[in-house]
A and B are shown apart, each in its own frame.
Chain A
Amino acid sequence: MQKLLGLAGAMAFIATTALAQSPVYKITPELEAAAKKEGKLTIYTSVDVKVAEAIAKAFESKYEGIKVTVERNGAERQFSKIGQEYSSQIFNVDTVNSSDAAHFIYWKREGWLAPALPQEVAERYPKGSFDEQGFYAPWRASLSVIAYNNKMVTDAEAPKSFKELLDAKWKGKLVKAHPGYSGTILTATFQISRDIGWDYLEKLAAQQIMQVQSSTDPPRKVVAGERPVMVDGNEYNVFLEQAKGAPISIVYPTEGTPLVIGPSGIMKNAKNPNAARLYHAWSFSKEAQQMSVNVGGLRSFHPDVVEPAGRTPLGKIKLMKDDPVAVDKQVEQIKQQYLKYFKT
């Protein structure tokens, strides 16, 4: 009898590990009910706060009874914050999205993430774009672009490449976001330093640039006319400004445009694991992805998502290659080098 019990235990153990080994899941009525029982969800994200809140509100109205709290910070600050909270055993965050894909390599290594791969991602998203073990998947992508205020700079005068920004005529006219704060800019700084070289950034630092923090901010500064040209910043915020009729135009530099992928994942110690899984799966659905593209100006890996008219398709843009593994290794060095040249 005892043997039999032991055998049954061993089989149950094997069954659960087998289940745990396959991270693929989809939204079921049971998951929905369990999520509604939890009734709340905390999302940490580095996407623009208005985009994040709009998507959270769409989730709330689709799954009534789940209250979503959005905690928006720049990816690098968010990363510090999660580190501080986790080392004090504070598990506020349920699901996280970061514009610095290297963070997920770190969190996975630390064992902070839960494996959860929405079926739609496993079946429809391009192979290689998501973690095979299901710890993270690309919720969004965007570019860090050059842009200019087209009332202050004519299309002919506008810079066509990164190197042109070093021209004396742009001195005091540039605005730039900060890699110590923004994951997008950290990623872009890595790609630019790799493809163009640190000496470009050293010379750029001598151009009396205006330094802001978030990559969501340079487009606002250009639209307000504070600086006519932004050196880097979110393509999606430029799209959003353009949709409001603001006088801002994008330049995809000839050297290539930094591609910034923003993965999402679920924390292993999430207090609302079911709500987190429900949101996570929904956020990768065509419905949510199309919304992030239409309302948020983001790029999507979902194959069925349609790009709105007027935006240059990704296929027509020369892109710099993203490499989160390298960023993960070099992050401290990148920040120090930047501090040396830009003084902040």
Chain B
Amino acid sequence: MTAIALNEAEQRRSLAGPDLSGLVLGATALFLLALIGLPVGWLLAYAFSDKAGAVTLANFQALLDDPTLREPLVTTFSLASLVAFFAALAAAPMAWAVARTDLPGRRAVRAMMTASFVTPPFLGAIAWEILAAPNSGILNKLWRDLSGADEALVNIYSFGGLVFVMACYTAPYVFVVLTNALDRIPADLEDAAGILGAGRWKIVRSVTLPLALPALLAGALVAFLQAMILFGSPAILALPAGFHTVTTKVYALFQFPPKPQVAAAAALPLLLVTVALLWIQGRIIGRRGFAVVGGKAGEPRLLVLGAWRWPVLGLVLLVLALPLFLPYAALLKAAVSRIPSGPFDAANLTLTNISFVFLEFSQTQRAFANTFILAFTTATAGTGLALIVAYMAARRAAPGAKALEFLATAPIAIPGIVLGVGLFLAYTRGPVVLYGTLWILFLGFLTIELPAAFQQLRASFRSVHPELEEASRILGADRLVTLRRITAPLLKSGVIAGWCLIFIGVVRELSAAVMLATSNTKVLSVVIYDLNESGNLGAIAVLGVAMLLVTFAVVGLANWVAGVGAGIGIRKT
């Protein structure tokens, strides 16, 4: 290196102050390491120790020997497999119709699938209780009236019922992954096949389908993972049906007399399976999924449905009714009903649910405050953190960026209930006791939501060409100044989308919250869960609807502030 070059470098520094990127990188890495390391470390320590603290494998032996611990494991994996299968089965034709055909109202259908993603799964499960409880459920009563049958049409309190409800709320994940992939399949390839003489269906079969298959598999894997780690829906539907999943069992093991060691051991399989499946998913996507990303591909060729467009639309709407129209209608009805599933008449109409929630119930105000304080702070801090890591990762700003990227993605492998257990074990003792404060929830939510925001922002970074940043650097700004003044404004829509993702994620989070909240730090999801335990469905409906309204309003406002065109997950078709 010549003296002149050194001089220039020094000059640059003196213009813009010292380059802090190394420091920031180090601090971020340390923070992430502690964020993930502490709870997982405590989890492992507990799983391998007995009550006295001595090292043992007895907890794992109990998992194999004790049928009340073994059965939930078997149940969970068969449940997750079935959910993944049905979610893919429902989402695949929907995604194809929306992305590759001239279906009327394609954009609206996409937006509505996104709305069903906003719906917390536990709220969906409660709504389906109102709809499909075997005897009092609205749909079953209707079915009996119409058919004269004695038997129920659907029994939501059953293994099958749980599979159905969970598939309803995991299908959007498959849908999003699949539509993104289908959007990216360029017309050139299909055109080429057409020029070579292939017919329309031959093209679908030999070009579109093979290209979309990895995405479908990846989406199904996501659905599997979601179903495996979900706590809310099983907590609401599995107990009346008389079985446990791993998540509800882990939660039960924390009830008196608490068995944190066994709980930690029972939670570990979820962690291991998640890591394994994410690795497989990485292989699938890594091999084929991104092969068609970028390039100068033409617009995807839309299949003209012709006379089929209305029947297809009808089918799509029917599928949308399951996670969206029916449950929302049921919640709205329950909010103003004395008996949630009772007849829709004057005798059953009441405003007491609403007045109870907003005038009498002493937890409403605090729960709203806690929830939205946490959602705002986590979304803001999380987006900032994700922005830094995504920048480092996308620009390879410093050695070790790869490790940082790994750390920011790793929490995806930690199921909420597992993280909840880990955080509980980590922060109920010294040196830092955070249990009982909002901080422990903040850390939990930040950890859970970071990967999604990070992936969103990394994708955004990839779409901004580095030459703009290079220009800023050449003019003397250091990395952080460049990030703030050049890159961030260009990434506005990505940043807003990331922020909204975290915000929504926090509001609908239950599994970690239920482990970590105390009476002063209760959030809405936990309040709703508590109300469900005593069957106060009317109050739940009011709280749930209010919660969704505030969420939609905030997300709408964020997008409005960001200007037109920054939607979450809603791309132009």
Contacts and interface: CB of A to CB of B under 8 A. Distances in A.
Contacts of A224: 133, 136, 339-342
Interface string A26-59: 0000000000000000101000111001101100
Nearest to B141: A225
A80 B257 CA distance: 8
B17 interface: no
Contact of B534 (A69, A70, A180, A217): A217
A282 B533 CA distance: 29
Contacts of B133: 224, 226
A92 to B, nearest CB: 5
9 contacts: A49-B531, A72-B534, A81-B518, A85-B436, A214-B535, A217-B534, A224-B133, A343-B243, A344-B238
B436 A90 contact: yes
B344 interface: no
Interface of B: 68, 71, 133-136, 157, 238-244, 252, 254-258, 338-342, 356, 360-363, 366, 424, 428-429, 433, 435-436, 518-520, 530-531, 533-536
A211 B533 CA distance: 11
Contact of B242 (A44, A211, A223, A244): A211
B436 A80 contact: no
A225 B254 CA distance: 33
Contact of A74 (B241, B433, B534): B534
Interface in A314-344: 331-332, 339-340, 342-344
A89 interface: yes
A92 B360 contact: no
Nearest to A60: B362
A76 B435 CA distance: 20
Interface of A: 42, 44, 48-50, 53-54, 56-57, 68-74, 76-77, 79-81, 83-85, 87-90, 92-93, 178, 180-181, 209-214, 216-217, 220-221, 223-227, 244, 331-332, 339-340, 342-344
A210 B157 contact: yes
Given A49-B361, A57-B360, 6 more contacts: A68-B362, A76-B255, A84-B424, A90-B436, A227-B135, A340-B68
A73 B533 CA distance: 8
A84 B135 contact: no
| Residue among B254, B339, B362, B531 with most chain A CB within 10 A | B362
Contacts of A343: 68, 71, 242-244
A211 B68 CA distance: 17
Contacts of B360: 50, 53-54, 57
Contacts of A211: 239-242
B256 A79 contact: yes
A92 B243 CA distance: 33
B356 A344 contact: no
Majority secondary structure, A binding face: mixed
A1 B490 CA distance: 82
Given A50-B360, A70-B363, A223-B339, A88 B436 contact: yes
B363 A226 contact: no
The 8 closest A-B pairs by CB, nearest first: A217-B535, A214-B534, A90-B436, A226-B136, A71-B519, A224-B136, A213-B533, A80-B256
A342 B242 CA distance: 7
B514 to A, nearest CB: 10
Contact of A210 (B240, B340, B362, B428): B240
B535 A212 contact: yes
A53 to B, nearest CB: 5
A224 B536 CA distance: 12
Contacts of B257: 331-332
Nearest to A343: B242
Given A88-B428, A339-B68, A225 B135 contact: yes
Nearest to A224: B136
A85 to B, nearest CB: 6
Contacts of B68: 339-340, 343
Contacts of B362: 53, 56, 68-70
B338 A244 contact: yes
A180 B294 CA distance: 56
A75 to B, nearest CB: 10
Contacts of A226: 133-136
A303 B242 CA distance: 43
B136 to A, nearest CB: 4
A305 to B, nearest CB: 24
Nearest to B427: A88
Nearest to A42: B519
Nearest to A222: B136
Nearest to A180: B255
Contacts of A77: 255, 533
B363 A83 contact: no
A224 B424 CA distance: 38
A25 to B, nearest CB: 26
Nearest to B71: A343
B428 A83 contact: no
Nearest to A228: B135
B33 to A, nearest CB: 24
Nearest to B257: A332
B254 A69 contact: no
Contact of B428 (A53, A80, A84, A216): A84
Residue in A71, A216, A332 with the greatest tally of chain B CB atoms within 10 Å: A71
A344 B534 contact: no
